[in-house]
A and B are shown apart, each in its own frame.
Chain A
Amino acid sequence: NAGVTQTPKFRVLKTGQSMTLLCAQDMNHEYMYWYRQDPGMGLRLIHYSVGEGTTAKGEVPDGYNVSRLKKQNFLLGLESAAPSQTSVYFCASRTGLAGREQYFGPGTRLTVT
């Protein structure tokens, strides 16, 4: 099993450009999450999904959109990138069973100039 994978690993964008980050998991997990990690701030939840076709806002959703058209994929979109979105983005997934951990992808480092 590959676990949780993220594409791309690195990206540099100019202000105003758009892009989509792809998260894929092969563990048949129901729940998927997108986090951003900034120095001194830990992981902050951007958006999450409790199943195929459903998404919801997390703590810091502004400037991002998500879609979960297939159970194994969770896409994070930036429509008009801003320097404040420079960050490392982590995707995670977990089973719906109680008391289980989240599994994280390797991260995507995004720089917006």
Chain B
Amino acid sequence: ILNVEQSPQSLHVQEGDSTNFTCSFPSSNFYALHWYRWETAKSPEALFVMTLNGDEKKKGRISATLNTKEGYSYLYIKGSQPEDSATYLCAFRELSGSARQLTFGSGTQLTVLP
């Protein structure tokens, strides 16, 4: 079983604050790292798929970086808004997986207070 860990488990920030959280994954046999945003009562939606060491991706106020050599990825949210409140999941895909299987972390639950 692959070990994918996310920290912190939960986070409360004030509107306007910038924040970041971490996903740790195995540094060997890496193929891709996915980030998903999961709002309450909805289904997870993809934010980023990252495949190269040093990748940086951005979507609006949200960005992510990837370090495959040390096995971590950061997700950053600049100027958090209440609508950013959600659980953010990362998922690791290993090179040897035949069915594009993902191993998910347990998520970071973000609450942005107005």
Which A residues fall within an 8 A CB radius of B? 4, 31, 33, 35, 40-45, 48-50, 56, 58-59, 90, 94, 96, 99-107
Contact = CB atoms under 8 A, between A and B. Distances in A.
Contacts of B101: 33, 45, 48, 58
Interface stretch (B12-20, B73-81, B103-111): B103-111
A35 B43 CA distance: 12
B59 interface: no
A102 B89 contact: no
A49 B34 CA distance: 20
Contacts of A59: 1, 103
Given A40-B106, A41-B106, A99-B32, A56 B46 contact: no
A59 B43 CA distance: 21
Contacts of B46: 101-103
B72 to A, nearest CB: 17
B34 A56 contact: no
A96 B98 CA distance: 11
A33 B44 CA distance: 14
A95 to B, nearest CB: 9
A90 B36 CA distance: 14
Contacts of B32: 99
Given A102-B46, A104-B43, A105-B43, A43 B89 contact: yes
Interface residues of B, number: 24
B106 A42 contact: yes
Contacts of B100: 31, 94, 96, 102
28 contacts: A31-B99, A33-B101, A40-B106, A42-B4, A42-B104, A42-B105, A42-B106, A42-B107, A43-B44, A43-B89, A43-B104, A45-B103, A48-B99, A48-B101, A49-B99, A50-B98, A58-B101, A90-B44, A94-B100, A96-B100, A99-B49, A99-B51, A100-B49, A101-B46, A101-B49, A102-B100, A102-B102, A105-B43
Given A4-B43, A31-B100, A33-B101, 11 more contacts: A50-B98, A56-B99, A59-B103, A94-B100, A99-B32, A99-B51, A101-B34, A102-B46, A102-B100, A102-B102, A106-B43
